[in-house]
Structure 1
Amino acid sequence: MSHPLRLASLVASNSDILAALGAASWVVAVDHHSDAPGLEAAVRVGLDLDIDVAALAATRPDLVLASLSVPGQERVVQRVQAAGLNVMVLDPLSVTDTLADIDSIGHAIGRSAQAADVIVELTTALDALHRIFPVPPRVLVEWWPRPIIAATRDSWVTDLLSRLGAVNALAERAGRSSPLTLEEVRAARPDLIVCSWCGAKRLRPELIEARGLGVPVVAIHESGLGRPGPRLLDGARQLSAALGALAST
């Protein structure tokens, strides 16, 4: 039996994918945010945007997994490549892209069969959450409160909401995310606002409610919405429940 690859993951979404593929124990270096099970033996090499490249290189990874889903990671990728390390860079803009990334990672690490299983399970579970509303609810997913930053057209959030029968309230706004004024939030006419602050120690939906928009707010941890990987299913289930509650009021 060949020795498993030595893997490094620079973002939590990729770590979640590796764990779902049964390869967490192969990870020798990982960013500080990753919390997938099985990473206990991996060396922590810094925040996703502040990777200690020397510490990363010292773990001698065969393959480093990065992702442009974290804005600004392209600068980290350049430093890792300059160190002579083999880097696989993902750049998902949709749930479909995310499923393709799971397949690509599975192929790269010799876990294609496991990847196929994960893709089928995710697709089936997401399909089961789809519902038809008389009018698709408009949902705004907020990544940060000050300034307000929310998911826009080119985010996997748009695809995820569509699969649930809803729409991204900012689907006509270009880019992956955008800073917004309170008036721009109001103009987006959301029926539901999701508090999914990235990197926050505590979600405080009451701060969003205090803006006086009169829109229901639900809190969903960023691990369920901010990471294009298998844990999007967790976020989708919570979103589906919130949409169901919204429809029943």
Structure 2
Amino acid sequence: MPDTAPRPVGARIVSLVPSLTEAVAVTLPGALVGATDWCTHPADLDVTRIGGTKNPQLDRILALAPELVIANEEENRAPDLEALRAAGLDVLVTEVRSVPQAFAELERVLVACGAPGRPRWLAEAEAAWAGPARARGRTTAVVPIWRRPWMVLGRDTFAGDVLARLGVHHLYAGHAERYPRVPLEELRAAAPDLVVLPDEPYRFTADDGPEAFPGLPCALVSGRHLTWYGPSLAEAPGVLSEALRAARR
């Protein structure tokens, strides 16, 4: 069965992507039999945990005998996905670099998982993002995603597109790398209007992030709303916009 063909209701699904886990769990309760340790939503999700996104325990996945494994080309490693395919499993790999692409890939995943129709949350999310993107470049920002070493959003990222649609231009959007390593001194010298600090993949907090950028407004934002594509997309514009406004008051 091709990986994009619809599965019957009751098909066994394993998710290697936290945002896709949430999307499938909300849409098809009971379909998931396995998910990563980082799949934190829904909070009451009760499935077999199969390790991390970068180091899944393949033997656990195989033991679950899923009809489909859903993955992402950025979050999961190609050798792991190839090993699952070699073992006879169907693996659907998503690619998400923009908000419109997220909606298209979510629909593809849900159809493949056996959803009988488009879920209400997906329509609400599309409506939340339906307005025109705000003027690019109104607010400049740097967006660290890691420290030790410092890494930031670069070119062609989903989170970068989310911010652009909220009127925030991150200064490394034209960088040759998608997640470049940039010395802290260079980030400070860039003098952005705003430093955006998500709580994942690195958990920046009020005590671990803003102190590195003295004199610059810092917005602590939800990584789930900035980087996840799923039900959280419906509330992301409001949640992120408020966090960005609060940082500049």
Give TM-score, length-normalised by structure 2.
Answer: 0.85
Q: CA deviation at 1:196?
A: 1.5
Per the TM alignment, residue 152 of structure 1 is displaced from its structure 2 partner at its CA by: 1.2
- Alpha-carbon contact 1:140-1:190 (below 8 Å) kept: yes
Q: What RMSD over aligned residues (CA atoms) do the two structures have, in Å?
A: 2.5
Q: Which has the higher contact order (CA 8 A, sep 6+)?
A: 2
Give the superposition deviation at 1:207: 3.3
Q: Could you tell me how far 1:191 is from its partner in structure 2?
A: 1.3
* Structure 2, unaligned runs of 5 or more: 1-7
1:88 is aligned to 92
Matched, 1:108 2:109: no
> Sequence identity of aligned pairs in percent?
27
Q: Encode CA deviations 1:182-234: one digit per residue, 9 max, x unaligned.
A: 2331354321112124344x532443322244211122232222323332444
Question: How many Å separate the matches in 2 of 1:232 and 1:170?
Answer: 24
1:122 equivalenced with 2:122 (yes/no) = no
> What is the number of residues matched between the two proteins?
242
Does the Cα contact within 8 Å between 1:145 and 1:197 map onto a contact in 2?
Answer: no
| Equivalent residue, structure 2, for 1:244 | 245
In structure 2, the CA distance between the partners of 1:175 and 1:95, relative to structure 1 (3 Å rule), is farther
Asked if structure 2 preserves the Cα contact closer than 8 Å seen for 1:141 and 1:194, the reply is yes
**What pairs with 1:50-89 in structure 2 (closer than 5 Å)?**
50-70=55-75, 73-89=77-93
Counterpart-to-counterpart distance in 1, 2:46 and 2:212: 44
Q: Does 1:29 align with 2:34?
A: yes
Contact 2:220 2:243 in 1 (8 A): no
Q: Which residue of 1 aligns with 2:5?
A: none
Deviation readout 1:57-108 (Å, 9 max, x if unpaired) = 11110000011231x5223212222222110001111111111111101221
- Matched residues in 1 for 2:175 and 2:206: separation? 24
Q: Which moved more, 1:171-180 or 1:26-35?
A: 171-180
**CA distance in structure 1 between the partners assigned to 2:115 and 2:151 by the alignment:** 36
Contact 1:69–1:228, Cα closer than 8 Å, also in 2: no
Partners of 1:13 and 1:33 in 2: CA distance: 10
Greater Cα shift, 144-153 or 218-227: 218-227
Shift in Å at residue 121 of structure 1? 1.0
SS in 2 for 1:28: strand
Q: Tell me the TM-score normalized by structure 1.
A: 0.85
Using the TM superposition, give the Cα deviation of residue 140 of structure 1 relative to its aligned residue in structure 2, in angstroms.
2.2
Structure 2 partner of 1:223: 224
Would you say the 8 A contact 1:67–1:89 is kept in 2?
yes
User: What one-letter code is carried by the residue in structure 2 that aligns with 1:43?
Assistant: T
Contact 1:138 1:192 in 2 (8 A): yes
Letter in 1 for 2:123: V
Does the alignment pair 1:7 with 2:9?
no
SS of 2:143 mapped into structure 1: strand
What is the rounded CA distance, in whole Å, between the counterparts of 2:88 and 2:81 in structure 1?
Answer: 11
- Indicate the structure with greater helix content: 1
Verify the 8 A CA contact 2:37 2:50 in the aligned structure 1: yes
